[in-house]
Amino acid sequence: MSSKTTWQYWVLLFALLVLGASIIFQIFNVDTLLNRLYGSLIGVVLTAIVTVFLLQGQMQSQEKREKSVKVFEKKQLVYHDFLVHLDRILQDGKLAIPERGSDEPNELIELILQLGYIKLHAQEAHTRAITEQVTKILGILRQEQMQGVDSERTFYKSLAEEIFLLVTIMRRDLYDHNEQLGDSSEKLALNLVGAVFSQR
């Protein structure tokens, strides 16, 4: 016999002893004993049913919360990796697209894959907005290459503004913030670039 079965037999034996003792020592009348046992049994069953429902609800909400935390952490990681990749593109000043079959890393393919990871984790509206911001950032980078050093202040202002907007969209997706796009990003970009270029 297993220990679980032995334990059940001990509980049954104890219950029978208590029941027998209450009848022998006339703690309860035999007439009312059955009514009390039946009432107690109904109370136990109702309590068990309510407890099961409460525990199921608690487990479901806890599983949902754990899933949300994991999704949030993964989104943070994906966004961080994306910003690091975008930083590499901006640091070298161009989007490197070598010929097919070359050993050089293709930054466009990496960028497309990074945007794919974002699309996998973000809502469709946020994915679209992030892609539009990346397009604007790459356009600013291309303009800077064509115009040269004369428009350095404008380049950095535009770049900072677009990156701040990009991060605002990512923050909106991560934290469900609903702040206006553009207002604070433009002010931050103006202040940052103004401070840097006033020292030159």
Please tell me whether residues 31 and 127 are part of one structural domain: no
159 located within any domain: yes
Q: What is the mean pLDDT of residues 21-48?
A: 82
Among 191, 162, 147, 150, CA closest to 90: 162
Beta strands in 5-133 (DSSP E): none
Token duo for residue 54: 């409460």
Check residue 93 and report its DSSP letter: T
Residue 74: how many CB atoms within 10 A of its CB? 13
Please tell me whether residues 21 and 104 are part of one structural domain: no
Q: Which domain holds residue 14?
A: 3-53
Please tell me whether residues 102 and 30 are part of one structural domain: no
Please tell me whether residues 124 and 174 are part of one structural domain: yes
Q: What is the mean pLDDT of residues 3-12?
A: 84
Please tell me whether residues 101 and 48 are part of one structural domain: no
Give the model confidence (pLDDT) of 112-142 as tens digits.
888 888 888 888 888 888 888 888 888 888 8
Residue 62 pLDDT grade (very low, low, confident, very high; cuts 50, 70, 90): very high
Please tell me whether residues 47 and 101 are part of one structural domain: no
Please tell me whether residues 10 and 72 are part of one structural domain: no
d(CA 120, CA 60) in angstroms, rounded, equals: 24
Please tell me whether residues 93 and 133 are part of one structural domain: yes
Residue 64 has pLDDT above 90, yes or no: yes
Residue 53: how many CB atoms within 10 A of its CB? 10
Please tell me whether residues 73 and 154 are part of one structural domain: yes
How many domains is the chain partitioned into structurally? 2
d(CA 123, CA 95) in angstroms, rounded, equals: 26
Residues 6+ apart with CB under 8 A from 84: none
**Exposed, middle or buried: residue 31 (CB in 10 Å: 0-12, 13-18, 19+)?**
exposed
d(CA 108, CA 167) in angstroms, rounded, equals: 20
Give the model confidence (pLDDT) of 77-90 as tens digits.
999 999 999 898 88
63 located within any domain: no
First to last CA, the chain: 88
Please tell me whether residues 27 and 76 are part of one structural domain: no
Please tell me whether residues 76 and 46 are part of one structural domain: no
